[in-house]
Structure 1
């Protein structure tokens, strides 16, 4: 089937290229360095034999594997993103390969005493005896979502090399800036031309998702007044204290570290401030649309109450929606989920159908007219130093792509 070493080599060639996206930038891609991998991928798609390979002025990549059957069947797509999260550095990634994992602690970095332990990360226990790729403890790995890219490219290469496997037309798409919520913003759905697609952007082997958070970003700006501290009584307004009041007034247990499943949250991820001005950057998440809207109102109402108490406008909340729950767009075409589930079962992979506690390009693409469930890519502990991916999971994901391609001609639409 697909060579284990081939998968490893391809994945490492991707993750050692720094593609961290930049939320402060207004360009697309948001960081110039994303072009390094984008150009490499465009060339590689041509080299493996795909057709209609394009890369546009915003680094969106598309390619085609032509149909090798006579009958007319739906065109499907597979999509992944090549940027990595700005939450943790993606520069100078030094992957470590752990052969035949023994189920014990993995020393990522002895000098800094950084340990990847199954006592804390219990999912590790699922992969005893397998080959893991980890970080060296000083960077993220980039399996989110370079594992997905590895799987798509490897599956397409295999299908090119094995024309005896019958399939319809397949489109491939790679995007920048997914990690900062802009991965689908300039994706040309019409040009892509697929009836539906799958993002390869999930985690644990078997994950199959068509429900995600509704998402918004909130910026809370608090204005203070600086006065010499020796003469400040009755005059100084310390914006940081007001910020503290705002933070403590939100529900204490509705944060990421206290929620799971379909429970939503408020997540404070950045604070910048001094006496004169403090900014709080939040993300708001909820699977339920009504609860999502209510969360936004809670923040606005809290700001109004603080302003009323102080009898002046000291706090302002600006909220911008980012993406919505794709479930309402996928449920009317549930056969696309059923096909992915059937493919997994045919490969003896147990489907894990659950809501995404996050978002993918697929959530936005679904609202742009391209229904797009999400399939596992295999990585764990995204966005940090403890990220890892089992090689066997990447091989399994590539096999799922191939099996979906095989199943399409067998269906009636």
Structure 2
């Protein structure tokens, strides 16, 4: 565990925010920089089949140390951080032996409080890494990278622990929905895998949203306001009218568990043209279809009310619920559950209210549930990670590898 925190801090020092406006892969130079650093590290550590491909994907393998067949298992994390908050010049601070109360984040004026983040109440006595309140931290998902590499180094350095082939992979552009686009499942070589990309200790997830994005484009008519009567059609007003039609109680801030939502992600425009960007989420395929149909109906109804101007709707499917691809392989979930139990971690099986590379990879033939990292409050300046939770993730990864080999005897 000695190098776990050092690895993590080294990774977060590289700005790897992804950029959805850039079609290249990786979408930002920082991701390429980190990928090269990880490649060099894996080569120095002596892993086999270390590959950094032309698209910024890094993979490697720890060969089996037993003389019988064990299914090859994969562990995967992503290198990019979310565009939602700055990932540049991250200044982590370590809180040793947290004993409760508020945590001041550098000189930013920002604080973490148990009132706002009740998870802090369960972390007394643990050591935490926070931001300085001006950037995100990058635990999503550099904690996962550090945990995977630390675990596989531990297996390599402790040959008395039996294991089969361990395949590890690090992907670019997960945060903008492209992490699995160019992932070479066949070359990766695993029978199944786990993304190490979850939150609090114990999380084990094999269900995620069915997802789509929607863009509502309001086409107005711009005329000088002094002569606008009966001529102007204000696209901004049309956009506001559309948003008022959307169910106010079916938004991220009003839903939890298996409840889906519509999320107005951004709005821009002028009198002549305005755009609203939404993401649509539902755990049920029919539920997602109903949500898309609702938006189509709302657009049609508003268009019928307009004398001038027009509202246009564009919907694009993003990813599907991995459950249908993972559930036929219950041993994958049971292996992770038992490993947690063996490490004195209580499994908390819950749906992902989002998506991971694992969702896409599961439909590409690599069943891929998601396991915790020990991180909290991803995508924002209040992000933090528990060092104790990171250590537990390392132990669970090692135990999954060991139990898979024991079960194959």
- Using the size of structure 2 for normalisation, the TM-score is 0.99
Q: Provide the C-alpha distance between the structure 2 equivalents of 1:260 and 1:275, rounded to a whole number of angstroms.
A: 36
Are 2:17 and 1:17 aligned? no
Q: Provide the C-alpha distance between the structure 1 equivalents of 2:56 and 2:131, rounded to a whole number of angstroms.
A: 27
Residue in 2 aligned with 1:213?
Answer: 209
CA distances 1:63-85 after superposition (whole Å, capped 9, x unpaired)? 00000111011111000000000
CA distances 1:252-276 after superposition (whole Å, capped 9, x unpaired)? 1100000000000000111111111
Are 2:3 and 1:31 aligned? no
Q: Provide the C-alpha distance between the structure 2 equivalents of 1:349 and 1:297, rounded to a whole number of angstroms.
A: 42
Residue in 2 aligned with 1:75?
Answer: 72
Q: Mean Cα displacement is larger for which, 312-321 or 365-374?
A: 312-321
Alpha carbons 2:375, 2:386 under 8 Å: kept: yes
How far residue 312 of structure 1 moved from its aligned partner, in angstroms, is: 5.3
Residue in 2 aligned with 1:251?
Answer: 247
Residue in 2 aligned with 1:336?
Answer: 332
Residue in 2 aligned with 1:406?
Answer: 402
CA distances 1:92-135 after superposition (whole Å, capped 9, x unpaired)? 1000000011111000034x421111111000111111110000
Are 2:279 and 1:283 aligned? yes
Q: CA RMSD in A?
A: 1.0
Gaps of 5+ in 2: none
Residue in 2 aligned with 1:297?
Answer: 293
CA distances 1:33-59 after superposition (whole Å, capped 9, x unpaired)? 211111101111111121100011110
Give structure 1 regions of 4+ aligned residues with deviation exceeding 6 angstroms: none
CA distances 1:133-186 after superposition (whole Å, capped 9, x unpaired)? 000000000000000000001001111111111100010000000000110011
Q: Secondary structure at 1:319's aligned position in 2?
A: strand
Alpha carbons 1:148, 1:377 under 8 Å: kept: yes
Residue in 2 aligned with 1:46?
Answer: 43
Q: Secondary structure at 2:105's aligned position in 1?
A: strand
Q: Secondary structure at 2:327's aligned position in 1?
A: helix
Are 2:97 and 1:132 aligned? no
Which of 132, 138, 151 is residue 155 of structure 1 equivalent to?
151
Q: Provide the C-alpha distance between the structure 1 equivalents of 2:299 and 2:85, rounded to a whole number of angstroms.
A: 31
Are 2:310 and 1:314 aligned? yes
Q: Secondary structure at 2:82's aligned position in 1?
A: coil
Q: Provide the C-alpha distance between the structure 1 equivalents of 2:185 and 2:307, rounded to a whole number of angstroms.
A: 50
CA distances 1:180-212 after superposition (whole Å, capped 9, x unpaired)? 011001101111111000000000000000000
Q: Provide the C-alpha distance between the structure 2 equivalents of 1:378 and 1:192, rounded to a whole number of angstroms.
A: 26
Q: Secondary structure at 1:202's aligned position in 2?
A: coil
Q: Secondary structure at 1:165's aligned position in 2?
A: coil
Q: Provide the C-alpha distance between the structure 1 equivalents of 2:17 and 2:232, rounded to a whole number of angstroms.
A: 40
Alpha carbons 2:236, 2:274 under 8 Å: kept: yes
Q: Secondary structure at 2:318's aligned position in 1?
A: strand
Gaps of 5+ in 1: none
Residue in 1 aligned with 2:200?
Answer: 204
Residue in 2 aligned with 1:184?
Answer: 180
Q: Provide the C-alpha distance between the structure 1 equivalents of 2:221 and 2:86, rounded to a whole number of angstroms.
A: 35
Alpha carbons 1:48, 1:160 under 8 Å: kept: no
Q: Secondary structure at 2:332's aligned position in 1?
A: helix
Q: What is the total number of aligned residue pairs between the two structures?
A: 409
Q: Provide the C-alpha distance between the structure 1 equivalents of 2:46 and 2:113, rounded to a whole number of angstroms.
A: 41
Are 2:238 and 1:242 aligned? yes
How far residue 313 of structure 1 moved from its aligned partner, in angstroms, is: 5.7
Residue in 1 aligned with 2:388?
Answer: 392
Which of 77, 86, 94 is residue 83 of structure 2 equivalent to?
86
**1:102-117 correspondence runs (5 A):** 102-110=99-107, 112-117=108-113
How far residue 311 of structure 1 moved from its aligned partner, in angstroms, is: 4.5
- Using the size of structure 1 for normalisation, the TM-score is 0.98
Q: Secondary structure at 1:211's aligned position in 2?
A: coil
Alpha carbons 2:374, 2:386 under 8 Å: kept: yes
